[in-house]
Chain A
Amino acid sequence: SQQGEEDPQALSIQEGENATMNCSYKTSINNLQWYRQNSGRGLVHLILIRSNEREKHSGRLRVTLDTSKKSSSLLITASRAADTASYFCARTGANNLFFGTGTRLTVIP
């Protein structure tokens, strides 16, 4: 499969805690993206990290990339109940994206 794999499949934390989600992939990449999906809705692009970058920040989001391990992580700091959603990593192929199966994050108020 060309899809990535997110880990864990599900994560439940208390509001205010940090949430870390991991993504592994099998082939080389140009870049890796993270998306968020609220229940029953479309995906929203969160952040893109290029293969020559190791870390990137956007607000409360921090993404790291380790190309030697073919893995990436998404950290959400100071989580809020509104962060409850599914999070997907996506690896860029030749001209389309290959998505992982997602991590379901639940933030308990």
Chain B
Amino acid sequence: DVKVTQSSRYLVKRTGEKVFLECVQDMDHENMFWYRQDPGLGLRLIYFSYDVKMKEKGDIPEGYSVSREKKERFSLILESASTNQTSMYLCASSYFYRTGEDGYTFGSGTRLTVV
């Protein structure tokens, strides 16, 4: 089975800290994505990447950066965590540049709380 693994299920960080959220997929997918999910707002795309060292801004990139040094790993970085970044963060990956029949495969999510 395709697996997308997010390094932490729950994280608590202090305001101003630099936070790294890691995501690893084991199926050689080209595309990787970071979403955040908030009640009433659904899933919003933060950043995505379609190749190593490539990144594209999504709908809400402010306050975030990403890194993709290896094909299987896509990291989301909160440069200086703030309380409004408390959220559920979901990583996803897919084979195709244009989504094919497989759809996206999601990780289990990281619930981040910034205090």
Contacts and interface: CB of A to CB of B under 8 A. Distances in A.
Contacts of B42: 3, 88, 99-102
Interface string A14-44: 0000000000000000110101000011111
Q: How large is the interface on B (under 10, 10 to 19, 20 to 34, 35 or more residues)?
A: 20 to 34
Given A95-B48, A100-B42, A48 B103 contact: yes
Interface stretch (B64-72, B74-82, B107-115): B107-115
Contacts, number: 66
B99 interface: yes
A95 B43 contact: no
Given A42-B106, A42-B107, A95 B101 contact: no
12 contacts: A3-B42, A35-B103, A35-B106, A40-B88, A41-B109, A42-B90, A43-B92, A43-B104, A92-B98, A94-B98, A96-B48, A102-B42
